[in-house]
Amino acid sequence: MDVRLKITDGEPVYRQIVRYIEERVRSGELAPGTLLPAERKLAEQLQVNRSTVSVAYDELRARGFIRSKQGSGTRVSEDAWGLEFRAPDWAGYVSQGIFQPTLPLVRLLWEENRRAENINLARGEMAPELWPVKQLQALAAELPPQVQLGYGDPRGEKSLRSTVSRHLADHYGIRMPAHRILITAGSQQGLHLVTQSLLRPGDAVALEKPSYAYSLPLFASAGVRMFPLPVDEDGLVPDEVMALHRRHRIRMVFVTPTHQNPTGTLLTPERRRRLIDICADLRIPIVEDDAHGALTLDGNPPPPPPLAAMAGADQQVIYLGTLSKTFAPGLRVGWMTGPTTVIDRIAGVREQMDFGISGITQAIAEQVLATGIWAENVRRLRSELTKRRNIMVDCLHRYFGDDLTFTIPQGSYHIWGKMKHPVRDRDLAERAIRSGVVIAPGSVYGAGPGYVRLTYASSPEADIEEGIRRLHRAWKDG
């Protein structure tokens, strides 16, 4: 089959490939059984990344236009001509759902991350070698007899909420009774629940720019208007909330004050106080995402207290915590604290949504927090992450010198750097992938050109140097 597709700007490349093939199948130009070019060949011919062609072929396969068989390649489906009449218009449905489509660049990064030959400096999670597998095996083998196997309390099991209450007091200085705590499937779900339960389409929210990548489509899907709070080396600038409120009537502020993702900044105690005061005066609730708060690296002072601890009894903060960064993201356990009215409302939403997370997972999470397992794991992770951060910092200095500027992070997983000679984000990501390393360019987080987030937690420690070497080569060769 001869592909004469001219790639143009303005539409994701994979969509152009899908459309090109779909139109030719529908018009009969491509007969059933026609052999399509192999992914690698088509990628070479169109001068695009192979994973872009993979994504396009995946979609065509999912929609029944093509079939792939080991040994005989990818062909137009035998029954493709009938598709128009037999299959519902899934593409139409898919484009109309309320959730935003995943950005093609993000999809490309995560596809590439799955390839064993690539070094992953993009994904914000710990490498498998850092997973607490043994501890989890032991806990799973000894589930308590009272484990909840029915539909439990939509706020989460009382015993786990009481354990989280003690955990927050002991490790974060947050005093919160169990009835003001709700168990979530991680902070991402917490953000989703807050947005869907407490906001309406058109509401204005303020959030840090740049911000955690997955929060951006979540807010866009809910139809809320996002207004940026600039972040400098001391974290977000609180007085901007006032300015934004005057212009847009801000309904909620979303912040990550400690080891912010992606910039790694710590909001100073003065700015924390100022943010709390401004929001109290304007009666704007604050949603504090503390996913990374416990991961201060060795040799640094403890971070300032969370906003939820500083605001105390004022009930103006909804606080989100998670086991994802300090224990295992695959456990899918987090929590949310807030005023009783909010917790009760969200518990009701939870009943409509999924009835809450598994009682088995909750029993394991309770053991992780109630025994010394969590604290021990955090000590181990801090020391491992400190080693990895130092390796990455050293490699960045050696390979990039002055060509990449960054502040050495005091916590968590990432280095946020700025290239001296900015390269178009997508070009940089694609060139890096061709060199065998996956990195997250700044636009994924809403930043301007030239920024890059490099994660030292996600690949084996021994691969960090090679990852930086490949990135440097990709950047230099451009």
Tell me how far, at minimum, the Cβ of 440 lies from ligand PLP, in Å. Answer: 11
Strand 286-289 relative to strand 250-255, pairing? parallel
Output the six-digit token pair for 209.
């720019």
SS3 122: coil
Tell me how far, at minimum, the Cβ of 185 lies from ligand PLP, in Å. Answer: 7
Q: Which amino acid does the sequence have at 328? A: A
Tell me how far, at minimum, the Cβ of 189 lies from ligand PLP, in Å. Answer: 6
| Nearer Cβ to ligand PLP (156/436) | 156
Q: Which amino acid does the sequence have at 44? A: E
Tell me how far, at minimum, the Cβ of 334 lies from ligand PLP, in Å. Answer: 5
Angle at 147 between CA 142 and CA 153, to 5 degrees: 150
Separation of first and last alpha carbons in the chain? 32
| Nearer Cβ to ligand PLP (154/190) | 190
Provide the 8-state DSSP code for 222: T
Closest CA to 43 of 108, 95, 106: 108
In the complex, the residues that contact ligand PLP under the rule CB under 6 A are: 124, 186-188, 212, 256, 261, 289, 291, 322, 324, 329, 334
| Nearer Cβ to ligand PLP (17/444) | 444
| Nearer Cβ to ligand PLP (135/458) | 458
C-alpha 37/C-alpha 17 separation (Å) is 12
| Nearer Cβ to ligand PLP (250/336) | 336
Tell me how far, at minimum, the Cβ of 187 lies from ligand PLP, in Å. Answer: 4
Tell me how far, at minimum, the Cβ of 408 lies from ligand PLP, in Å. Answer: 19
| Nearer Cβ to ligand PLP (18/333) | 333
Tell me how far, at minimum, the Cβ of 20 lies from ligand PLP, in Å. Answer: 36
Tell me how far, at minimum, the Cβ of 260 lies from ligand PLP, in Å. Answer: 7
Output the six-digit token pair for 319.
């606080």
Question: Nearest-CB residue to ligand PLP?
Answer: 186
Output the six-digit token pair for 454.
């490099």
| Nearer Cβ to ligand PLP (256/435) | 256
E-state strands within 185-281: 204-209, 225-232, 235-236, 250-255
| Nearer Cβ to ligand PLP (165/324) | 324
DSSP secondary structure string for all residues of 267-305: --HHHHHHHHHHHHHHT--EEEE-TTTT-BPTTSPPPPP
Closest CA to 253 of 231, 216, 227: 227
